[in-house]
Chain A
Amino acid sequence: MIEERFDAIVVGAGMAGNAAALTMAKKGMKVLQLERGEYAGSKNVQGAILYADMLEKLIPEFREDAPLERHLVEQRFWIMDDRSHVGLHYRSEDFNEERANRYTIIRAQFDRWFSSKVREAGATVLCETTVTDLAQDAYGRVIGVRTDRQDGEIRADIVVLAEGVNGLLGTRAHLRERPKPNKVALAVKEMHFLPRETIEARFNLNGDEGVVIEAAGTISGGMTGMGFIYANKECISVGIGCLVADFHRTGKTPYELLDRFKRHPSVAPLIEGSEVKEYAAHLIPEGGYKAIPQLYGDGWVVVGDAAQLNNAMHREGSNLAMTSGRIAAEAIFQVKSRRLAMTKENLALYKRMLDRSFVLKDMKKYKDMPRLMHTNSQNFFLTYPQLISKAMQTYLRVDGTPKTEKQKSTLKSFVNARSWIGLFGDAFRFARAWR
């Protein structure tokens, strides 16, 4: 048993945990951080896009030594059917700026670097340590943690739960529900290695410029899900994720889905001849605003994916994790510096601060989206992509058919598939959820 007493224990050394531990350690608090992996990052999976602004708030000079892959100059969005894709590209020279806005990263390397900053700030970081339970007193107040290392407890005034999407400890302590199949997506991902020049040629890049592709459509076979292709320096991340409930319902296998995505005629040429060096799987919280649990209580706060803070519409998670970790730490520090106890009442400050930040504002904006996408997955991920692709093809093929007839037949195919009421209903529901 560690006899020392800590101001705070942080469970997990992912994006949220590192942000929280760093912020508290920098403010001079005595912080213990526990991570079950061999090193920070060895258990973590991401696409991965890093949003610079949220990291800059923690480590302003991060660009000097953080392991960054490529800064993004281009974003592509693909609506796919089985043989084609309709794409929206945005590329801008403005993104070739000194302090770039978004980068691709490799999580195992990035987290390790992030963790070194946490140590430098003075926190005690213990890896290879799985926290098995929260220690609670007779009144249910959280007073510390138990680990698989030594018997007995480690005590602290507050425990920051940054344990990621599975959130085992929070569930075991009855602080929140376990993730539900219709509120989490399972993503599988491979790392495809190719020579730098090949990647740059295939993606139309100069030097450290980067591109990401997000893809939706028949690739998910009618399930609620998305695929992604992100260019790193010497490898390409290729992955796809769908709701666990949909995998359960359809009996589709995640690896077959990934392989079908890789074989798609729009994807295959990008990764042709590559060497796959890793296959990874991870859950993503997709329940949105309505799935956010109680965020604080006596002796604890929850941050990041464990708190379901993930914006599935914009594929943002790590930045919400970093921001919630930082804000929780700032709230804790405020409570501490006022010499108040870490009670539920006092820690409500964390929620009030989070409410004012982009984190909960963004989450709230899309509160109806997860349900809409889930209950209409066949339309949004199968019917519409097929219709759109057919419309494009009809429009582009020059075959002597008058344009008016082409337009009519396209419109007819939409109405046949979804009916006028269906079309208006979908558009209305989508617009309302987007608003």
Chain B
Amino acid sequence: MKIDRSVRVEDKLFCNRYLVDAGRPHIKVRAHTRPSSQLLALLKACPARCYDLNDKGQVEVTVDGCMECGTCRVIGESTGDVEWSYPRGGYGVLFKFG
């Protein structure tokens, strides 16, 4: 699967404010050996590029840059691939403008 690296999402997220709830990720990916098509779609659909492949070819999520949009929930929750909640009150992205 080819992922578009031409736009540096990290730079975009860098200007955002976050309060990360360390050790309490609000999104979880179901354990798997081979990723489903839904999970693979998230590598591209997530606007913060929170989803990535590890060296075993499994899809992982790192929620630090998450903007809590819900796209991965809409794609991955009904199949059980993604378990989705909001962060605890006050944590997560803090839009200055929105």
The answer to whether A180 and B47 touch (CB under 8 A), given A44-B95, A128-B90, A279-B15, is: no
CB B94 to nearest CB in A, in angstroms, measures 5
With beta carbons under 8 angstroms apart, the residue of A106, A149, A178 that contacts B89 is A149
Task: Identify which of residues 132-185 in chain A touch chain B, using a CB-to-CB cut-off of 8 Å.
Answer: 132, 147-149, 165-166, 168, 178-181, 184
Contact of A254 with B96 in the complex, beta carbons under 8 Å = no
Q: How far is the CA of A163 from the CA of B75 in the complex (A)?
A: 20
The answer to whether A127 and B95 touch (CB under 8 A), given A178-B74, A276-B15, is: no
Contact of B74 with A244 in the complex, beta carbons under 8 Å = yes
Contact of A256 with B77 in the complex, beta carbons under 8 Å = no
Residues of B within 8 A of A278 (CB): 15-16, 95-98
CB A230 to nearest CB in B, in angstroms, measures 12
**Using an 8 Å CB-CB cutoff, how does the interface string of B82-98 with A read, 1 for contact, 0 for none?**
00111111101111111
**Using an 8 Å CB-CB cutoff, how does the interface string of A247-271 with B read, 1 for contact, 0 for none?**
1100111111001000000000000
Let me know if B29 is at the binding interface, CB within 8 A.
no
The answer to whether A191 and B47 touch (CB under 8 A), given A178-B77, A179-B70, A283-B71, is: no
Contact of B47 with A235 in the complex, beta carbons under 8 Å = no
Let me know if A188 is at the binding interface, CB within 8 A.
yes
Let me know if B33 is at the binding interface, CB within 8 A.
no
Task: Identify which of residues 161-215 in chain A touch chain B, using a CB-to-CB cut-off of 8 Å.
Answer: 165-166, 168, 178-181, 184, 186, 188, 190-191
Contact of B48 with A281 in the complex, beta carbons under 8 Å = yes
Task: Identify which of residues 279-320 in chain A touch chain B, using a CB-to-CB cut-off of 8 Å.
Answer: 279-283
Q: What size tier do the contact residues of chain A reach? A: 35 or more
Contact of A255 with B86 in the complex, beta carbons under 8 Å = no
CB B11 to nearest CB in A, in angstroms, measures 9
Contact of B98 with A130 in the complex, beta carbons under 8 Å = no
CB A114 to nearest CB in B, in angstroms, measures 13
Which stretch from A33-41, A82-90, A361-369 is at the chain B interface?
A: A33-41
Q: How far is the CA of A163 from the CA of B3 in the complex (A)?
A: 33
Contact of B93 with A43 in the complex, beta carbons under 8 Å = yes
Residues of B within 8 A of A256 (CB): 4, 6-7
Residue of A nearest to B66 (CB): A281
Q: Given known contacts A43-B98, A108-B96, what 16 new A-B pairs fall within 8 Å (CB)?
A: A36-B87, A36-B89, A37-B94, A41-B95, A45-B98, A130-B88, A181-B74, A190-B12, A191-B97, A253-B45, A254-B47, A276-B12, A278-B98, A279-B15, A281-B47, A283-B70
5 contacts between A and B (CB under 8 A): A36-B86, A255-B9, A276-B12, A279-B12, A280-B16
- Chain B positions within 8 Å of A, measured between CB atoms, are 3-4, 6-7, 9, 12-13, 15-16, 19, 41, 44-45, 47-49, 67-71, 73-75, 77-78, 84-90, 92-98
